[in-house]
Amino acid sequence: MVETKIAVPTEQQIAWQNLELGMFVHYGINTFCNQEWGEGTDSPSLFNPAELDARQWVKLAKKAGFKYFILTAKHHDGFCLWPTETTDYSVKNSPWKNGQGDIVRECAEACQEEGILFGIYLSPWDRHEPCYQDKQAYDDFYCSQLTELLTGYGSIVEVWFDGAGSEEREYDWARITGVVKKNQPDAMIFNMGQPTIRWVGNEDGVAPYPCWNSKGKARISMFTNEEVNWLPGTPEWLPAECDVPIRKNHWFWHPNDEDSLLSIDGLLDIYYHSVGHGTNLLLNIAPDNRGLIPKLDEDRVLEFGNEIKNRFSNPLAVCTGEGTELILELPSELDIDHVILKEDIQFGERIGKYEIQAWQSGTWHNVANGSAIGHKKIDELGSIRTNALKLVVSESIKTPKILEFSCFNTGK
Ligand code: FUL
């Protein structure tokens, strides 16, 4: 008999996919200059948040149900939020805490206290660093920065390699990913080199459907349609992450920008199109020039977190099982409007096509159809009344393994 080979995740990938929701924080010299992409020429003397409180950022993440937190340790302008040995262009030469501060440390510690996993973004493109022109010298410089971050701040869940600005540039990715593997072997590597997770390909926070875990290539950035040339040895299982800013098109804070804040319906739509399609969602919130997340954004994030909890914390019925048919019995005849399906992805993504049926008036009625399930699929049904649901898998490789088949009455 021929064994069908299918891609399976590593233990670390499964753990990461279970996190589902991450908070991205863009903070830096741009926050003080009303800009998204500084040229690396803004003086460190501008960086002076009077009330910076990383605990406020992380506590918000925790309260809203985010499970990981990623900070821009250095954006394209090259300004470093930690007192690095590699350059003078950092918090060390700012008036903030008289040059004694370290935002990476404050975030790492707050995450540890709150029980949230901590990750870092370190822009490969560096518009300040003079040695950027010399490929080898810059690879050395970049690896030193990465080493500082990966050895000085405890456990790191994810390293975010942004392709923006680096479209035509070659870096020594084998060496760079080697630094991650050596120092933080369990960290997820985002999209570059030999990644363990991939970019979904847009900054709208939406995954296409289906968004298979084991197929598809990824783009380098928003500024090219070129696909990333991953190194040999990149795993077949490569789950996607959807990143999106809570203020439309703005990753950093800008004054008088309240109108760009996404609505609660917009955020929920993003949730259904990211987590609901089996990917992780990394939602960016930008602290302001005081060093605090503005009240309006804070309230919106909490509203978002609460709405997810309200909708999906109390299933009316849950079951697990295997095979091409699975029945979910409800305790009685009830109104339902959502179904959540999860495959047991340690065995790979086995289901290619499925249907959900509801028992109504003595017969099974089709209420939803889909292809991929993977880590999670959320199906909105519209309100129906039933006492049993049936999952019918019509295309699969090997025996389907269902970790969760559940239904909800959210009233939405
Ligand atoms: C992009 C960058 O150019 C943006 O400034 C932001 O950091 C976003 C997450 O990635 O490619």
Mutate which of 251, 252, 253 for ligand 1? The one with the most ligand atoms within 8 Å of its CB, which is 251
> What's at 85, amino acid-wise?
E
Percent of the chain with pLDDT over 90: 96
Closest by Cα among 303, 308, 243, 256 to 25? 243
| Domain containing residue 331 | 317-408
* Mean pLDDT (whole number) for 253-272: 97
Q: Which of 255, 279, 312 is the last residue of a domain?
A: 312
Ligand 1 atom nearest to 24, measured from its CA: 9
* Mean pLDDT (whole number) for 325-336: 98
**Residue 144 maps to a domain:** yes
Strand-pair category, 351-360 with 21-25: unpaired
**Cβ count within 10 A of residue 308:** 18
Cβ burial, residue 206 (10 Å; 0-12/13-18/19+): buried
CB-based burial, 4-29: b 16+ in 10 Å, e otherwise: eeeebbeeebbebbebbbbbbbbbbb
pLDDT at 116 over 70: yes
Mutate which of 162, 200, 220, 281 for ligand 1? The one with the most ligand atoms within 8 Å of its CB, which is 162
- CATH number assigned to the domain comprising residue 57: 3.20.20.80
* Rounded Cα gap, residues 83 and 92, in angstroms: 5
| Structure-block tokens of residue 338 | 């959502």
pLDDT tens digits, one per residue of 13-48: 999 999 999 999 999 999 999 999 999 999 999 999
Closest by Cα among 164, 183, 161 to 173? 161
How many helices (H) and strands (E) would you count in the chain? 7, 16
- Give me the chain's average pLDDT, please: 97
**Residue 289 maps to a domain:** yes
Confirm or reject: Cβ of 36 under 6 Å from ligand 1.
Answer: yes
Output phi, psi for 352, to 5 deg. -115, -20
Measuring from atom 2 of ligand 1, which residue has the nearest CA? 164
- If asked whether residues 258 and 373 sit together in one domain, one would say no
Number of domains in the chain: 2
* Rounded Cα gap, residues 314 and 154, in angstroms: 35
pTM assigned to the model: 0.98
Q: Which of 260, 281, 312 is the last residue of a domain?
A: 312
- If asked whether residues 231 and 255 sit together in one domain, one would say yes
- If asked whether residues 363 and 350 sit together in one domain, one would say yes
| Structure-block tokens of residue 25 | 């924080």
Measuring from atom 11 of ligand 1, which residue has the nearest CA? 164
- If asked whether residues 297 and 327 sit together in one domain, one would say no
- If asked whether residues 298 and 400 sit together in one domain, one would say no
What pLDDT does 217 receive?
82
Instruction: Note whether 279 and 211 are within 8 A (CB).
Output: yes
The label of the residue with tokens 């199906």 reads: 379
- If asked whether residues 387 and 339 sit together in one domain, one would say yes
- Report DSSP letters for 117-135, one per residue: EEEEEE-S--SS-GGGGSH
Confirm or reject: Cβ of 251 under 6 Å from ligand 1.
Answer: yes
* Mean pLDDT (whole number) for 114-126: 98
Please report, for residues 244, 284, 304, 367, 395, the alpha-carbon distance to residue 269 in angstroms, rounded to integers and kept in the order given: 12, 16, 11, 20, 28
Element holding 338 (H helix, E strand): strand 325-343
User: How many A from CA of 123 to the centre of ligand 1?
Assistant: 9
What pLDDT does 3 receive?
61
- If asked whether residues 87 and 144 sit together in one domain, one would say yes
Q: Which of 275, 297, 312 is the last residue of a domain?
A: 312
Count of CA atoms in the C-beta half-sphere (13 A) of 297: 30
**Residue 196 maps to a domain:** yes
pLDDT at 6 over 70: yes
- If asked whether residues 280 and 156 sit together in one domain, one would say yes
- CATH number assigned to the domain comprising residue 397: 2.60.120.260
What pLDDT does 294 receive?
98
Confirm or reject: Cβ of 35 under 6 Å from ligand 1.
Answer: no
pLDDT at 2 over 70: no
* Rounded Cα gap, residues 308 and 95, in angstroms: 40
Confidence of residue 130 (pLDDT cuts 50, 70, 90): very high
Confidence of residue 215 (pLDDT cuts 50, 70, 90): low
**Residue 404 maps to a domain:** yes
The DSSP code for 94 is S
**Residue 41 maps to a domain:** yes
Determine the angle formed by the axes of helices 135-152 and 103-114, rounding to 10 degrees. Answer: 40
Confidence of residue 357 (pLDDT cuts 50, 70, 90): very high
Question: What secondary structure, in 3-state letters, does 147-202 show?
Answer: HHHHHHCCCCCEEECCCCCCCCCCCCHHHHHHHHHHHCCCCEEECCCCCCEEECCC
Closest by Cα among 343, 279, 276, 268 to 308? 268
User: How many A from CA of 301 to the centre of ligand 1?
Assistant: 20
Strand-pair category, 219-221 with 224-227: antiparallel
- If asked whether residues 292 and 346 sit together in one domain, one would say no
What pLDDT does 388 receive?
98
Confirm or reject: Cβ of 164 under 6 Å from ligand 1.
Answer: yes
* Mean pLDDT (whole number) for 230-250: 96
Instruction: Note whether 366 and 350 are within 8 A (CB).
Output: no
* Rounded Cα gap, residues 388 and 357, in angstroms: 9
- If asked whether residues 292 and 391 sit together in one domain, one would say no
What pLDDT does 170 receive?
94
What pLDDT does 322 receive?
97
Confidence of residue 362 (pLDDT cuts 50, 70, 90): very high
* Rounded Cα gap, residues 220 and 336, in angstroms: 41
- If asked whether residues 86 and 235 sit together in one domain, one would say yes
What pLDDT does 5 receive?
84
- If asked whether residues 29 and 172 sit together in one domain, one would say yes
User: How many A from CA of 164 to the centre of ligand 1?
Assistant: 6
Percent of the chain with pLDDT over 70: 99
